[in-house]
Structure 1
Amino acid sequence: MKTFINGLSLILPTALVLYLLVWILKMTEHFFGDLILLVLPKEYYITGLGFVAGIAIVFFVGLLLKLWIVQKLRDFFESIIDKTPLVNTLYGAIKDFFNFFSNLKNKENNIVVLVDTHWIDSKIMGFITSEDLKRFDFLDMEEPVVVYFQLSYQIGGYSLFIPKKNITLIDMKTEEALGFVMTAGISSSKKSEDK
């Protein structure tokens, strides 16, 4: 039985990752392939051209965003979205999600913390996301910071205002800490077993 579970523990995650990659490839190929077929005759179309076009367009947009005029157009577009109910919430949430995780991985030190939870004599791992809280001066707290707590095996978490005296900075890379939290410590246990 243990041998079967070991095999399943390798096959299942690999199959899920491959399925997700294939799904992304198919969606990208279908979407951009249809756009290409608007200007290119069907007999000249090669499977995979849509995916290559998708990668090229994303890269090109990334390059364009370095231009001042494009940044101004993006700001104008986002200002319209900000005034549109529901759309602004969805757009903002997706944008913030990507920005948060891309910024999180770039920060290596002074962000991973343990927060004291005195009521059950324990600590919870989190990430400092904001220390400049001047607009929250009304909080009845001594030196508050915002700490984000990632939920294990989920896309999401929650943020709390916490006094600095209740947190302890730990010497751990952000990416390593994020992996630890998202897998509920299992990824760290596996590394220890492998050694």
Structure 2
Amino acid sequence: MRVMNENTPNEHREEHGMAKTSLAGRIRRYLLTGIVVTAPITITIYLTYVFLTFIDDKVSRIIPKEWYEGFYGETAIPGLGLIVALTFFIVIGWFATNFLGLLIIRVYEYILDRMPVIRTVYGAIKQIFETIMASQSSAFREAVMLEYPRKGVWSIGFVTGVSKGEVQRVTDEETINVFVPTTPNPTSGYLLFVPKKELVYLSMTVEEAVKLVVSAGIITPPDRGGNSK
């Protein structure tokens, strides 16, 4: 006895269309996942290569060709500029940690401090680098939430320190320096002086908070439960 297929031609077309849609959806999901996984690695490698190549090229230009022509020919030695630059910074770092180096640094800082415009620029740059490089500094090591730009709207921020000097003196409460980054470029943003009691300290790390900001909320860190403070 012959069994008749009860599916109509329209139903066959609908099932075929759903299968194609499902396949297209999976391909699209795989494509986006592949981009998310490979893009950060690729961009990081590329930027690192560009930076190292830039340093190598600039430093190599100031090295006399006579130093390496005899055993390498007319072509510059790849990586020589980078090696020279690293060696230079190491020597300067060693020199700056001994008595004579500290004395020389104090002398030129004293001279720069007498130059109105230069002392402002130098002081600001020095303070930024000291804050970033200091191993014991709490700058950018705590993620917080605060109501900004208005009540009821919350933003992610990073604690950069405790307010001091005139900023703290003219306020009635303990004030914290908070950097509120913009999305998707966290290198720009706003510096806010916020009362400590108005901050919500988060359990997520600074790296996780940066990913949250850069991804515009797409990459959400896991909830570890409870605030750190």
Q: Give the structure-1-normalised TM-score.
A: 0.71
Structure 1 counterpart of 2:197: 165
152-161 or 167-176, which moves further after superposition?
Answer: 167-176
Structure 2 counterpart of 1:142: 173
1:162 CA displacement = 1.4
3-state SS, counterpart of residue 62 of structure 2: helix
Verify the 8 A CA contact 2:175 2:196 in the aligned structure 1. yes
1:57 CA displacement = 1.8
Structure 1 counterpart of 2:63: 36
Structure 2 counterpart of 1:18: 45
26-35 or 39-48, which moves further after superposition?
Answer: 39-48
Higher relative contact order (CA 8 A, sep 6+): 1
Gaps of 5+ in 1: none
CA distance change for structure 1 residues 115 and 21 in 2, over 3 Å: closer, same or farther?
same
* 1:16-65 alpha-carbon deviations (Å, 9 max, x no partner): 32322222222222222223326614233532222222222222222222
Structure 1 counterpart of 2:99: 68
Verify the 8 A CA contact 2:186 2:214 in the aligned structure 1. yes
- The CA distance in 1 between the partners of 2:32 and 2:200, in whole Å, is 38
1:108 CA displacement = 9.2
Structure 1 counterpart of 2:4: none
Verify the 8 A CA contact 1:64 1:70 in the aligned structure 2. yes
Verify the 8 A CA contact 2:131 2:139 in the aligned structure 1. no
165-174 or 48-57, which moves further after superposition?
Answer: 165-174
- 1:115 is aligned to 2:142: no
- 1:50 is aligned to 2:81: yes
Structure 1 segments of 4+ aligned residues over 6 angstroms from their partners: none
CA RMSD of aligned residues (A): 3.6
The aligned amino acid for 1:127 is F
> 152, 156, 168: which is aligned to 2:188?
156
3-state SS, counterpart of residue 192 of structure 2: strand
- The CA distance in 1 between the partners of 2:53 and 2:191, in whole Å, is 36
Verify the 8 A CA contact 2:141 2:205 in the aligned structure 1. no
Verify the 8 A CA contact 2:132 2:139 in the aligned structure 1. no
CA distance change for structure 1 residues 25 and 128 in 2, over 3 Å: closer, same or farther?
closer
| Larger radius of gyration between Structure 1 and Structure 2 | 2
1:121 CA displacement = 1.0
Verify the 8 A CA contact 2:186 2:213 in the aligned structure 1. no
Verify the 8 A CA contact 1:105 1:175 in the aligned structure 2. no
3-state SS, counterpart of residue 67 of structure 2: coil
Percent of residue pairs identical: 23
The aligned amino acid for 1:155 is T
* 1:87-111 alpha-carbon deviations (Å, 9 max, x no partner): 5565555544444444489649984
3-state SS, counterpart of residue 85 of structure 2: helix
The count of residues paired between Structure 1 and Structure 2 equals 190
